[in-house]
Amino acid sequence: MTNLQQGLQIDKPVWKPASRNTLSVLLADVLLLLLGLFGVAQCFVTAFSLPADRLILTASIVLFAGMFIGIFSMKRFILPVLLLLAAVYCGTAYWLRTYFLQGFIITTNRIMSELGSHSRFIFPLYRVDLPRGDYEEACTIFLIFLLFFLSCFLSWAIRRRHSFWLSLAGTAPFLLVPLGFTIMPAWPSVLMLLAFWATLLLSRLSANSSFGRTAAAGKVSLLALPAVILSLLLLNVFVPQEDYVRPPSIESLRTELEAGIYQSPLLNPGSADSELGRTSLSRSGNLQYTGKTVLRVRNPQKTPIYLHAFSSSVYTGTSWEPLPDSAYEELEQALYFNPQNMAGQFFSLYAQPEEREALFMEVEIENIGANKKCIFAPYGLATRPEELSGGAFVNDSYIQSSSLFGSRNYSLQAWNVPGYSRSVSLESDAPFTVSEQAYRSFANTHYTQLPQEIKMKLRWLCEQVGIPNAQSATQSEVVNAVVEYVRSSGTYTLSPGTTPVGRDFVDYFLFENHKGYCVHFASSAVAMLRAQGIPARYAEGYAVTAADYGVDGWADIPDRRSHAWAEVYTPGLGWQPVEATPGVHLSAGQMNEPDNTLESTPSSEPESEAESEPEASSEPEHETENSSSLESEPYSSLPEVTEGSSFHTAAPVLLPIVIAGGCILLLLLRRAFLLWRRKKGFTAPDVNRRALYLYQYLTQLTDFGEPMDKRAEELALKAKFSPHRLSDDEIGYLQNVSDTAGRRAYEGLNALQKLLFKFWKCLI
């Protein structure tokens, strides 16, 4: 009885359920079961080209369907009969064990070889101890045993439960697994399974209610089945397979989505570590590249350029992190331009006409396989934030695409800073000078920070090896000395191993390991420059050498050109790249190749000397000079798309969906089981036992704030310890209380608690 409120109690409606043996229900179940079993069998056999006798399989299916429909139509003795059948099954399997096992091996081998031929995986094959002429017999026997199980499960799912989800769970893998490997079973079998699922779906509501299966449910199935079959056939006629052509727009959408998925941190763990502005050094281990083109770059001037992805500012010992946004508040009023445009501002104010013509360049970038959320920008950027559509300047660190799927094509204007050699005196009161001074002060404050321990250690090292600091030498002298030392401090390799847990990344490289790639050399250079008082930061991106450009001015940049380098703040010109990785010469078109491990020596890189760097200041006598050289040869070290990650199947997208669907299905199965078990307890023949189940339920409700009814507690104690049976009134009271309490507890919860209550605790 349901308590609607305090004043009215009304029973739940009792609907007279149909007998399972009503003709319409029986006929519908038989037809559905046959459809499902034939669909599954044909799917399985045709998908993997199994050598099986179709006639025998057909006869088996009919026999099993009839047998299990009969068994599950019985009112009693179902379990004993099933146990008897199980004994017969085991006995028969033992008697035919040779053919059963060999049939299993043959089937497995066929499946493995089909899967292997449709994927890049290699599946093991097992030896078959039967002459080839007996393969069909063995396979048929094995399939019959398999169909026995499937028939039992499907019969139960359809006849007893009429559950769409259970039936789907039992049949879907036979289609989904081949499809996952782009193996297409025979078309009629696919249609049969679709018809089976669609009919179950259409009859689901009328079959499954709290009132059991009604008489109308069978009629619905009998009505829906021919309608569904007709619809499938008509669809086949009006949209024939031969005339189907996949629209190009869908194909391009697929490509875009795949690229976005592959670059996501979920499938591309490395990229998670290089999330814009952030790099985890502790995971910088061994690298591999595919050689696929990720960027296409057009530069009419065909000069070598660094395409900057992002810069990181804060060194923690195990990672590079961005500065917090709050650190930039002091610059909001001080700067009238973005720091990433500092060189662009300088040139626009002070460049001569002939210099404008010579140094100004427009770079076009086509992002094919790199991170599309990142706008790769050259140094000396002239394009201002308001001129760049689809991109947003993020402080002084990087430019991020603001499009949903990222930016694929864009062009940027920049100045060729290495080509500039004139000195300029800046007016002390000029707005540009004032802003530059403010930013220089900001850079000196924030970009010379290091953890104290490594700072002291690096200062000691610099003192030992004779590297001057900012107080005792010019910036360019310090930079050159640091770069020279870092290049000679280690061996270049793509397999340096990972930094031990708890060790500082730079410390481990400079003082112990001495093996690494661009990330190691760049981080070390930045750390040493900061230790010596030079504002520096860590940068990642791609390196384009002069030799990469083709005749048309386009350069195809592969994934192995991802690179890390140091940046040094050059007054007036902003952040400029400094190459610290040995064997990297952009202008000469030299980059470290994946197979090479170059050992750098102090005298082996004459081109590695950095030229003097320009400096701009508010004092008239200070002059700007050339920026640091781009003579070093970068080597890409950015984590990249791993090898062989692109394939034309739906598996990467289907897999999470299937896993999520599987989890939901398990949850629902669990809920169904718990509810069934509770219902069994609530209707137990032993009244006292029933009372204890009800009390247990009430106890679970107390977790959700529902107070325990005192009388219910007393009755439970009586049921537990008293020799007497509870009366009908007493058990009725307990049932009423549990009904009311459950509903009341549920209604008082918020949405999340309701989900937990219903689907995890299964209390309602």
Q: Does 202 bind other proteins (CB under 8 A)?
A: yes
C-alpha to C-alpha distance for 139 and 473, rounded to whole angstroms: 84
Provide, rounded to whole angstroms, the least separation between the CB of residue 557 and other proteins: 28
Closest to 549 in 3D by CA, of 558, 557, 540, 541? 557
HSE toward the beta carbon, residue 228, CA cutoff 13 A: 21
Closest to 369 in 3D by CA, of 251, 268, 493? 268
Q: Which residue has the tokens 């000078």?
A: 433
Residues numbered 662-701 forming contacts with other proteins, rule: CB under 8 A: none
Q: Which is nearer to other proteins, 109 or 206 (CB)?
A: 206
Q: Does 649 bind other proteins (CB under 8 A)?
A: yes
Provide, rounded to whole angstroms, the least separation between the CB of residue 18 and other proteins: 10
Residue 69 region by backbone torsions, left for phi larger than 0, else alpha for psi between -120 and 50, else beta:
alpha
Q: Does 79 bind other proteins (CB under 8 A)?
A: no
Strand partners, 255: none
Per-residue tokens: 79? 């379990």
C-alpha to C-alpha distance for 448 and 22, rounded to whole angstroms: 85
Q: Which of 21, 117, 231, 727 binds other proteins (CB under 8 A)?
A: 231
Vertex 284: Cα angle to 293 and 575 (nearest 5): 70
Q: Which is nearer to other proteins, 4 or 125 (CB)?
A: 4
Q: Does 653 bind other proteins (CB under 8 A)?
A: yes
User: Given strand 293-298, what is the order of strands in its sheet?
Assistant: 409-415, 360-367, 293-298, 554-558
Provide, rounded to whole angstroms, the least separation between the CB of residue 527 and other proteins: 45
C-alpha to C-alpha distance for 381 and 344, rounded to whole angstroms: 5
Q: Which of 75, 648, 710, 724 binds other proteins (CB under 8 A)?
A: 648
Q: Which is nearer to other proteins, 455 or 743 (CB)?
A: 743
Instruction: Give yes or no for a contact between 178 and 110, defined as CB atoms under 8 angstroms apart.
Output: no
Instruction: Give yes or no for a contact between 18 and 217, defined as CB atoms under 8 angstroms apart.
Output: yes
Q: Does 352 bind other proteins (CB under 8 A)?
A: no
Strands (E), 489-620: 491-492, 515-516, 536-544, 554-558, 562-570, 574-578
C-alpha to C-alpha distance for 147 and 730, rounded to whole angstroms: 50
The helix (run of H) or strand (run of E) holding residue 219 is helix 215-238
Q: Does 6 bind other proteins (CB under 8 A)?
A: yes
Strands (E), 341-390: 360-367, 374-375
Q: Does 404 bind other proteins (CB under 8 A)?
A: no
DSSP SS3 for 748: coil
Vertex 509: Cα angle to 507 and 510 (nearest 5): 70
Stretch that binds other proteins, among 246-254, 270-278, 371-379, 435-443 (CB under 8 A): 246-254
Provide, rounded to whole angstroms, the least separation between the CB of residue 46 and other proteins: 14
Q: Which of 244, 621, 723, 729 binds other proteins (CB under 8 A)?
A: 244
Q: Which is nearer to other proteins, 78 or 232 (CB)?
A: 232
Q: Which is nearer to other proteins, 349 or 651 (CB)?
A: 651
Per-residue tokens: 747? 């209604």
Q: Which residue has the tokens 């002060």?
A: 441
Task: Indicate the angle between helix axes 215-238 and 187-207, nearest 10 degrees.
Answer: 150
Binding residue count for other proteins, defined by CB under 8 A: 60
Q: Which residue has the tokens 């195990």?
A: 318
Stretch that binds other proteins, among 4-12, 57-65, 273-281, 432-440 (CB under 8 A): 4-12
Residues numbered 253-282 forming contacts with other proteins, rule: CB under 8 A: 253-254, 257-258
C-alpha to C-alpha distance for 503 and 497, rounded to whole angstroms: 13
Per-residue tokens: 459? 């200062």
Q: Which of 657, 659, 663, 675 binds other proteins (CB under 8 A)?
A: 657
Q: Does 716 bind other proteins (CB under 8 A)?
A: no
Provide, rounded to whole angstroms, the least separation between the CB of residue 373 and other proteins: 21
Across 86-107, b (16+ Cβ under 10 Å) vs e yields eeeeeeebeebeebbbbbbbbb
Q: Does 423 bind other proteins (CB under 8 A)?
A: no
Ranges of H-type helices in 492-532: 505-508, 518-531
Q: Does 201 bind other proteins (CB under 8 A)?
A: yes
Q: Which of 4, 87, 430, 666 binds other proteins (CB under 8 A)?
A: 4
Provide, rounded to whole angstroms, the least separation between the CB of residue 614 and other proteins: 52
C-alpha to C-alpha distance for 182 and 540, rounded to whole angstroms: 39
Q: Does 2 bind other proteins (CB under 8 A)?
A: yes
Stretch that binds other proteins, among 208-216, 263-271, 605-613, 669-677 (CB under 8 A): 208-216
Stretch that binds other proteins, among 45-53, 247-255, 587-595, 722-730 (CB under 8 A): 247-255
Q: Does 623 bind other proteins (CB under 8 A)?
A: no
* 515-516 and 491-492 strand pairing: parallel
Q: Which of 198, 365, 382, 443 binds other proteins (CB under 8 A)?
A: 198
Q: Which residue has the tokens 């810069």?
A: 311
Provide, rounded to whole angstroms, the least separation between the CB of residue 644 and other proteins: 18
CB atoms within 10 A of CB 74: 11
Could you give the string, one character per residue 209-228, with x where binding to other proteins holds by CB under 8 A and - elsewhere? xxx--xxxx-xx--xx--xx
Q: Which is nearer to other proteins, 240 or 644 (CB)?
A: 240
Stretch that binds other proteins, among 85-93, 198-206, 435-443, 573-581 (CB under 8 A): 198-206
Q: Which is nearer to other proteins, 262 or 337 (CB)?
A: 262
Could you give the string, one character per residue 16-55, with x where binding to other proteins holds by CB under 8 A and - elsewhere? x---------------------------------------
Q: Does 654 bind other proteins (CB under 8 A)?
A: yes
Could you give the string, one character per residue 172-191, with x where binding to other proteins holds by CB under 8 A and - elsewhere? -------x--x-x-----x-
Question: For binding to other proteins (CB under 8 A), which residues are involved?
Answer: 1-2, 4-16, 179, 182, 184, 190, 194, 198, 201-206, 209-211, 214-217, 219-220, 223-224, 227-228, 231-232, 235-236, 239, 241, 244, 246, 250-251, 253-254, 257-258, 648-650, 653-654, 657
